[in-house]
Amino acid sequence: PPQYEDLVCFRDRKPGAPHHYLVVPVEHMGNCKTLKTEHIPLVKRMMEVGKAVLQKNNFSDLNDVRMGFHWPPFCSISHLHLHVLAPASQLGFLSRLYYRVNSYWFIT
């Protein structure tokens, strides 16, 4: 998988959209609940990597993208990972539920 300095990006093994990637810090970090103000540049970089990977895979409508984190206890692994899904307009019923914007289990 492509690596961007301290971040790795790979396809989700159970994709919820035609494009579904995970952007993960190489260094272990807890889940999104442990994020603090000093992590803002990291999260912004994670989103930039997500956008870059979409563009590399010929997806260019960055207004039709959903990015976010599952909120504990709704995350299956306790290592920070950003979900990047596109096109958001093509999410199936369960994915629309599972990756619902600012629900109590998924935060953008």
Catalytic residue ranges: 81
3-state secondary structure of 98: helix
Q: DSSP of 4-55, one letter per residue? A: ETTEEEEE-SS-SSSEEEEEEESS----GGG--GGGHHHHHHHHHHHHHHHH
Taken as a whole, the chain contains a residue count of 108
